[in-house]
Chain A
Amino acid sequence: MVALSQERLVSSADAPARRSTPPSFDRLFRLASLASALLVLIVLLGIIGSMIYGGMPAFREFGFGFITSSVWNVNEDQYGAWVAIVGTLTTALIALVIGVPLSLGIAIFLTQLCPPWLKRPVATTIELLAAVPSIIYGMWGLFVFAPLFANYVQVPVSNIVEGMPIIGTILYARTPSGVGILTAGIILAIMIIPFIASIARDILDQIPSVLRESAYGIGCTTWEVVRNVLLPQAGVSIIGAIMLGLGRALGETMAVTFVVGNANRLSGSLFDPGSTIASRIANEFNEAIGLQLNALMALGCILFLVTFTVLVLARLLVSRVKVG
């Protein structure tokens, strides 16, 4: 045994100390990692570049009027983005109004009220909402939700508010079909719940439990702990989580395409069909040629700038939720 190991020592004496991996592999590995990381950067730049390049002819043709014009006429080659922009912002806003309280409620339930044994199943269930493909939400919205919504919400509400000032316009359905801006907003609200809820839960989990315990110690109720201790502590990060949800809602395509109605019409009513930037691109892109293609690209460019801004703000507000 001794002889064997001595023999080995002798044989390896003149070989370099590192045999398994030559230094060149080490450098190669480092370079490959760096290149992959840079690729991520390049892809984002490529997306920006291609949107601007593709949309340029439309911006040059219509100038600033492209954003403010609400005409979208394929036959006369006149394009304006206003209807789609308004539709995108309205649906996203509705999604936030409905989705944020729901998500915060779920996050509070998971962190404060839920018995420990129930935590994991409930958290998984909510996260699975994010795994359902958006096209399935679209089918659910169109075939299941929209008919119910038309029968039990649109028709009665329209009957009640008919003739009233302002509300009579906003909540009046001329043709109660169930599809429209409000339906799209509701579906989006459900789709952004898992994203906001899971970040909000992580944020609430990170607040030192000493804070919570001392509040309970002086006799606060759960509501008071949440309202006066947890929410002020989480504050800005929660807004970041909401912005992240907003980013999702702005760019969601397939579900919205199913239920928004795809009409190029600016209507005062939330029950009326409209369109969003993403739904218009999805609907028209494959048949588009010439200037229409460029106009759709320009729409994509606007969508990118808006979501980019929102996501950057979100990222700045929500300090990266740390793992472990």
Chain B
Amino acid sequence: MDIALQHQASTEPTTAPAPWGRVRRSRHVADRALKIICTLFTVLGAFVLGWILLMLLVEGIGGLSPAVFTETTPGPGTQGGGIANAIVGSLILTFLGIVVATPVGVLAGTYLAEYGKSSKLAEVIRFVNDILLAAPSILIGLFVYMLMVQPMGGYSGWAGGVALAIIAVPVIVRTTEDMLRLVPGSLREAGAALGAPMSTVIIKISWKAARAGMVTGVLLATARIAGETAPLLFTALNNNFWFSPTLMGGVANLPVMIFQFALSPYENWRELAWAGALIITMSILALSIVARLLLRKDKVR
């Protein structure tokens, strides 16, 4: 029995018990502390997100102007300029990455869920995929540098696209597999009972049933690679011009442009970096939210 409780009980025997009821006070305090601390932590997390978005809005909106979307990035010491080449470059690189990654990721996920299931090989690939999912993206940049930039003799948009694809594949594999596993086996059996071969069952039944989830996976992968900077540093690099149609040489892109301009001594470069940061973050957040809304279930990362 707590002293405070005893005291209260002896002085006012007829009134209601203390706010913590018949629970020992220390237990009540520990419980309250847990609730308050957990709520505070959650509020802190939301607060940081809000703070970052606010910072982007405050700093970025001032830099937004029509010129941002029409002119190319300015050279050192020149005034004005925009980031049109970086925006288009980013779109192309992300598109390249997703176009390469989607078929590979979907087929690999299909193998894991439909063919491999719990075989040794499938287990190993699942394991490797989980590791690739969390592997440092800068190492993927180094790998593609060795694989493509050195042999091809220079930075290129193709290398950037491949680096982004390597980052996107594990995301797509994981969601595809998870979504295909949700498809009830009886649907497949019904297809097989009609005499359809395995490939038809997968394409016309499994994929169709898991469509929304698979699209979500691709969208999440797009959101993931759209903001990746580290792997592009060594593959697509960046420059201040419109890139050549063959995508050889440096290809301007938003993340690397932001990295270089944000740390530069020129005022207009920094403004463009903020404008670019605002554009890229808002697009990625919008993409992530759309992906989540598309999948009404709360279970996929």
Give the distance in Å from the alpha carbon of A44 to the alpha carbon of B108 in the complex.
14
Instruction: Flag if A311 contacts B38 (CB, 8 Å).
Output: no
Instruction: Flag if A132 contacts B44 (CB, 8 Å).
Output: no
Taking CB atoms, residues of chain B closer than 8 Å to A124 are 289, 292
Instruction: Flag if A135 contacts B258 (CB, 8 Å).
Output: yes
Query: Out of A50, A219, A244, A278, which one reaches B134, CB within 8 Å?
Result: A244
CB distance from B50 to the nearest CB of A (A): 9
Taking CB atoms, residues of chain B closer than 8 Å to A74 are none
Chain A residue nearest to B234 (CB atoms) is A285
Instruction: Flag if A122 contacts B198 (CB, 8 Å).
Output: no
Give the distance in Å from the alpha carbon of A197 to the alpha carbon of B41 in the complex.
11
Instruction: Flag if A278 contacts B136 (CB, 8 Å).
Output: yes
CB distance from A254 to the nearest CB of B (A): 5
A235 at the interface (CB under 8 A from B): no
Interface positions of A from 289 to 324, Cβ below 8 Å from B: 297, 300, 303-304, 307-308, 311-312, 314-315, 320, 323-324
With A190-B48, A221-B28 as contacts: A20 and B200 at CB distance below 8 Å: yes
With A47-B139, A102-B44, A281-B138 as contacts: A323 and B178 at CB distance below 8 Å: yes
With A33-B110, A102-B45, A252-B136 as contacts: A136 and B56 at CB distance below 8 Å: yes
Interface centre among A105, A144, A285 (most CB of B within 10 A): A105
- Give the interface SS of chain B, mostly helix, strand, loop or mixed: helix
Instruction: Flag if A36 contacts B108 (CB, 8 Å).
Output: yes
Instruction: Flag if B227 contacts A286 (CB, 8 Å).
Output: no
Question: Which stretch of A108-116, A169-177, A263-271 is in the interface?
Answer: A108-116
Chain A residue nearest to B270 (CB atoms) is A143
With A34-B115, A102-B44 as contacts: A323 and B229 at CB distance below 8 Å: no
Instruction: Flag if B227 contacts A133 (CB, 8 Å).
Output: yes
Instruction: Flag if A223 contacts B34 (CB, 8 Å).
Output: yes
B272 at the interface (CB under 8 A from A): no
With A47-B140, A136-B56 as contacts: A101 and B107 at CB distance below 8 Å: no
Taking CB atoms, residues of chain A closer than 8 Å to B288 are 127-128, 131
Interface positions of B from 220 to 238, Cβ below 8 Å from A: 223-224, 226-230, 233-234, 237
Chain B residue nearest to A323 (CB atoms) is B178
Taking CB atoms, residues of chain A closer than 8 Å to B139 are 47, 51, 251, 300, 303-304
B190 at the interface (CB under 8 A from A): no
Chain A contact residues, CB within 8 Å of chain B:
17-18, 20-21, 23, 25-26, 28-30, 32-41, 43-44, 46-47, 50-51, 53-54, 101-102, 105-106, 108-110, 112-114, 120, 122-129, 131-140, 142-144, 190, 193, 197-198, 219, 221-224, 226, 244, 247-248, 250-254, 258, 278, 281-282, 285-286, 297, 300, 303-304, 307-308, 311-312, 314-315, 320, 323-324
- 6 residue pairs of the A-B complex, CB under 8 angstroms, read A53-B146, A114-B42, A133-B227, A190-B45, A224-B27, A324-B299
8 tightest A-B contacts by CB?
A251-B136, A133-B227, A105-B41, A36-B107, A33-B111, A221-B31, A29-B199, A36-B108
